């Protein structure tokens, strides 16, 4: 598999480290049901068969965290975005992940 880092270009899989689902969002620790929300955030996964938005770290490259959209059946990659920009825009627009 090859991932096109938006900063570094098209690179081999072994430059990257995988974290997991990018659609879960760290809950507000002050909310009353924080414990349940954190359990969901840390442990529960949709694990879809198909498109998956996921976090990767360009470990052997620019050290950017990336949001990769990928089909987990075919490994086809539809898009790669810098996680920082995704996060910032989600924070401004308040969009749910």
Interacting residues toward another protein by CB under 8 A: 1-3, 7-9, 11-15, 17-21, 26, 29-30, 34-36, 38-49, 52, 54-57, 59-65, 70, 72-77, 82-84, 87-88, 91
How far is Cα 43 from Cα 9, in angstroms, rounded to an integer?
32
**DSSP bridge pairs for 56:** 18, 66
Q: Smallest distance from the beta carbon of 31 to another protein, in angstroms? A: 10
Strand order in the sheet with 65-71: 17-21, 51-57, 65-71, 77-82
Q: Smallest distance from the beta carbon of 96 to another protein, in angstroms? A: 15
Closer to another protein by CB, 1 or 95: give it.
1
Closer to another protein by CB, 14 or 94: give it.
14
Q: Smallest distance from the beta carbon of 53 to another protein, in angstroms? A: 11
Longest dimension (CA), the chain: 44
How far is Cα 77 from Cα 3, in angstroms, rounded to an integer?
8
């Amino acid at each position: 598999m090859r991932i096109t880092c938006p900063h570094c270009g098209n690179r081999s899989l072994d430059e990257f480290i995988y974290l997991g689902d990018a659609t879960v969002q760290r809950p507000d620790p002050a909310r009353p049901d924080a414990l349940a929300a954190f359990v969901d955030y840390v442990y529960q996964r949709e694990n879809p068969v198909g498109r998956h938005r996921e976090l990767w770290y360009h470990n052997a490259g620019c050290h950017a965290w990336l949001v990769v959209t990928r089909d987990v059946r075919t490994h086809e990659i539809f898009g790669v975005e810098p996680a920082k920009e995704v996060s910032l825009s989600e924070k401004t627009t308040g969009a749910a992940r």
